[in-house]
Amino acid sequence: MKNLIFHTAKVLVILTALTVNTMLTSAQSVDLSFRVLHTFSSFDIQSSSNTTTQGTITLGHGFAGIAHCEFSKHIGMQAEIIYSSSSHLFKEEDVERRIDITYIHVPIMMVFNTGTSDPVNIHFTAGPQFGLLVGSSMSTTGGNGKSNEGILAMRNTDLGIAYGVGIDVGIDPLNILRLSIGFRGTAGLTSMGDSDKPLPPNSYYLLGESSRDTYSGYIGLVYRF
């Protein structure tokens, strides 16, 4: 598993580097951003009776570094690296499960601006998002005497569509430093569960075909070169 994560991470780094290089060679100007994110997310798990258990919507956190290249005043492209973690609670009769997950995501976004040189710029973004699972764990309380054991098995990678809207406000007279506030959503396209491996006796997979959707609010700073 560690080798798979390592090779997947290399692919994501190479993909990001190639995208950034392409952006830089054709860009009129470059912005670098740092963001702090607060994320709401949820997904479902399977119970031992093959019914669906809904998890509570939980608040996670994350950090993002962004390179944005401007092709014109109104159109640009940006590559991002996002680190995020979240905890999810599930209750099934007398069993309570807590699942902690950590991802690194790499969205490649097209950006549509009202005007990057204006004191206030509203921007809309959309594009594919590639993800790498870097950590997952589960703790269980209750359920003494249960005959079947729930197994947490997650895919190492995921794919989704990211979209968002935000506003940048110039802090200095030349708009070199900007305050950025906005919303980001992600629709998962791939299932979280990995059911390819054989199960031990008297056990079942907690994650089926469920995908994960996220909704984030962010605040950050943009430096315009």
What is the pLDDT at residue 15?
61
What is the pLDDT at residue 218?
97
d(CA 128, CA 106): 9
What is the pLDDT at residue 2?
44
Look up the pTM and report it: 0.81
What is the pLDDT at residue 8?
54
What is the pLDDT at residue 22?
59
d(CA 150, CA 97): 10
Q: Residue 94 is encoded by which pair of tokens? A: 């007398």
CB atoms within 10 A of CB 140: 15
What is the pLDDT at residue 215?
92
What is the pLDDT at residue 116?
87
Sign, CA torsion 71/77/81/82: positive
Q: How far is C-alpha 122 from the geometric centre of its chain's CA atoms? A: 22
What is the pLDDT at residue 210?
75
Q: Across the strands, what pairs with 111?
A: 76, 125
Q: Residue 215 is encoded by which pair of tokens? A: 């909704």
Give the residues of the chain that fall short of pLDDT 70: 1-28, 48-50, 54-57, 143-147
If you search the block for the tokens 């943009």, which residue do you land on? Answer: 222
For the chain, the domains span 2-224
d(CA 120, CA 182): 13
The 3-class SS string of the chain reads CHHHHHHHHHHHHHHHHHHHHHHHHHCCEEEEEEEEEEEEEECEEECCCCCEEECCCEEEEEEEEEEEEECCCCEEEEEEEEEEEEEEEEEECCEEEEEEEEEEEEEEEEEEECCCCCCEEEEEEEEEEEEEEEEEEEEEEECCCCCCEEECCECCEEEEEEEEEEEEEECCCCCCEEEEEEEEEEEECCCCECCCCCCCCCEEECCCCCCCEEEEEEEEEEEEC
Q: Which of left, alpha, beta for 192 (phi over 0: left; psi -120 to 50: alpha)?
A: alpha
What is the CATH number assigned to the segment(s) 2-224? 2.40.160.20
